[in-house]
Amino acid sequence: MTTNQHGNEGAQARENEPDGGSPRDSRRRLLGAIGAGVGAAVVLPTVAAAQTGDGSDNDGGRQRSGRDRNGAGEGGRERGVRGNRRQGVVTGPDRFGRMFDLPPFAEPSQELRAALVELGRPGGIMDANDPLEVGPTRLITEPELSPNNRDNPTHTAGVTFLGQFMDHDITRDAGSRLGQPTPARRSTNLRSAQLDLDSVYGGGPAESPELYDGFSFRIESGGQFEDVPRDDDGQAILGDDRNDENLILSGLHAAFLAFHNAVLEDVANGTPTMSDFDQARRTVQHHYQWIVVNEVLPQFVGQDMVDSILISGFEIFDTDTPRIPLEFQTAAYRFGHSMIRPSYRANLAGDNGDPFFAFVFDPDTFGDADPDDLSGHARANRRFIGWQTFFDFDDGEVKPNKRIDAKMSTPLFQLPMFAIPTARGEDLGPTSLASRNLLRHITWEIPSGQAIAREMGVDPLSTADLDDLSSLGANLDTSTPLFFYLLREADVMADGLHLGPIGGRMVAEVFLGLLEADPTSYLNVADNWRPTLPQRNGRAGDGFTMADLLTIAGVDPTSRGQ
Ligand code: HEM
């Protein structure tokens, strides 16, 4: 069963016995081309549900008062800190949870709503004010034209969209009302709170047959190269249709489809069976999870933060009840919106032999059959991704990300309508992504950045650090919406290279906590699990990266010939 943009369908039934079938695409050649003996290297992971925690009571819990962090109403309870118990794994649609029992950053009022809309309006404090009139090519190739889009030399451009892809794997608000306070117990997260790629696999071949051809994924051609499958109206047929929101994201989705098919082809001895499918899916999940921990999180939060959590454990995420916290869903993990560039080089030679440069969104072209921007929902020859711009293939072509700060690229202040989620019967609301993020803080009664800093024992930012908010009223400079606060924290504390101490811990604890809580994750299946698939150098092991995954998927520059 798939979900649509408005979340009308329930999501994840675990798969049942499918009908069987044969793979559509043979990619054994590609695996063979990059590593010897791959078939032997792919091992059937033991799904060890054994609890590796010490089983003891939490050693550092703090008593909370007020709202239950899992949205179950009033009443505090002892909170797990550094607890490794894994009870109550959340595997399907469920509520969101909370990390903190703290009051909302402000009482809802018309004045507050107006201040938040103002903060996130086109041309406002958060708008990078990119000079769009110079066009997408100059804007990305002449950095001096967009001083508010400073390069981050420690991030590759693609990690932004891999981050969005990870978001769509674990969170999907089923349709809350923008700016209307809503109890957390009335929330629904349509995704499973696991890094299990349910956004790709749906319910498996039996529950989501529209995604599959036997045990392989359906992949179609976009003209020159792969595209996600689409219906006659061009609507993508995906486990989560949000993955067709922009071309880079749909390209990543297609790459994961091809990656699964390549691994399945390699696993199967003849016509694939359900057992081959399960083995391939597990191998895909584990390699993806490895990339999240070892390639993505160090870029998002800094290696020191990742190491600190892996060594010392969790302080704010409850691995006993691993729901996605609303503070993460509404604020912390939306930091990714600040890393998006106004324009990109989608590919190097796909536009009749020329590079395809385009704005991420351009309202002048919305709805065109082959729009000049990078919006999704369209198929055409030039609409594919040349991945060497986005991930490092050691060819000098990879480009850096934008730094993390309180500025967002100008095209994000006028989103295409198809990208905007609304509750049933609700008006569209602002098309500015910044304003929408901020208004959701009222919806989910998110505590202020300062209150969370104090709760975590971190010195809050100074009033001087937030001085630009003072003119907006509503005390936003002293009780700051968490989304804005964490972006400013990243800028002030880490020069925008990664998230700061609060934002970094919130993001890293959720991802590592979800893996810790999942008995089937690579952290739990075996002692010291390591990638089994070959890297581009032919060896298997720790160095496995997105570039290797894309190579196995057959969408790398060498396979494309461009
Ligand atoms: C071009 C890229 C992106 C676009 C156009 C986009 C757009 C959106 C939109 C329209 C929403 C819903 C806003 C609302 O009404 O509340 C949203 C939610 C969200 N976004 Fe993004 N986003 C992008 C990239 C990212 C990235 C890179 C990340 C993180 C690394 C991210 C994280 C999130 C999260 C956590 C949510 C909440 C999802 C939910 O639970 O429903 N997004 N985004």
- Closest residue by CA, ligand 1 atom 37: 329
Using most ligand atoms within 8 A of CB, pick from 96, 162, 167 the residue to mutate for ligand 1: 167
> Could you tell me the distance, in angstroms and rounded to a whole number, from the CA of residue 268 to the centre of ligand 1?
37
Please give the C-alpha separations between residue 278 and each of 49, 85, 103, in angstroms, as whole numbers.
16, 26, 44
Q: How far is the CA of 308 from the centre of ligand 1 (A)?
A: 27
Instruction: Determine the pLDDT at residue 526.
Output: 85
For ligand 1, mutation pick of 164, 198, 333, 409 (most atoms within 8 Å of CB): 164
Element (H, E) at 39: helix 38-41
Cα dihedral sign for 243, 248, 251, 257? negative
- Name residue, tokens 């009749």: 352
How is residue 117 written in tokens?
């809309």
Beta-carbon contacts of 37 under 8 Å, excluding residues fewer than 6 positions away, are none
**What is the Å distance from ligand 1's center to 337 Cα?**
7
pLDDT tens-place values along the chain, 562 residues long: 444 443 333 222 222 223 222 222 322 222 332 332 222 222 222 212 222 222 222 222 222 223 433 333 322 222 222 222 334 445 668 999 999 999 999 999 999 999 999 999 999 999 999 999 999 999 999 999 999 999 999 999 999 999 999 999 999 999 999 999 999 999 999 999 999 999 999 999 999 999 999 999 999 999 999 999 999 999 999 999 999 999 999 999 999 999 999 999 999 989 999 999 999 999 999 999 999 999 999 999 999 999 999 999 999 999 999 999 999 999 999 999 999 999 999 999 999 999 999 999 999 999 999 999 999 999 999 999 999 999 999 999 999 999 999 999 999 999 998 899 999 889 999 999 999 999 999 999 999 999 999 999 999 999 999 999 999 999 999 999 999 999 999 999 999 999 999 999 999 999 999 999 999 999 999 889 999 999 999 999 999 999 999 999 999 999 999 9
CA-nearest residue, atom 4 of ligand 1: 337
Write the residue with the smallest CA distance to atom 25 of ligand 1.
Answer: 164
Q: Whose CA is nearest to atom 29 of ligand 1?
A: 336
Domains of the chain, earliest start first: 2-40 (no CATH), 107-526+541-560 (1.10.640.10)
3-state helix, strand, coil in the chain (%, to 5): 40, 10, 50
Ligand 1 closest atom vs CA 329: 35
Q: What values do phi and psi take at 86, rounded to 5?
A: -120, 85
Rounded CA-CA distance 336/164 in Å is 7
Cα 255 to middle of ligand 1, angstroms = 20
Find the residues whose C-beta lies inside 6 A of ligand 1.
Answer: 160, 163-164, 167, 171-173, 245-246, 329, 333-334, 336-337, 340, 360, 415, 419-421, 433, 436-437, 440
Instruction: Determine the residue of 296, 334, 360 to mutate for testing ligand 1's pocket, defined as the one with the most ligand atoms within 8 A of the Cβ atom.
Output: 334
Residue 550: CA count within 13 A, CB half-sphere: 24
The amino acid that residue 165 corresponds to is: F
Q: Which amino acid is it at 1?
A: M
Q: Is 80 exposed, middle or buried (0-12, 13-18, 19+ CB in 10 A)?
A: buried
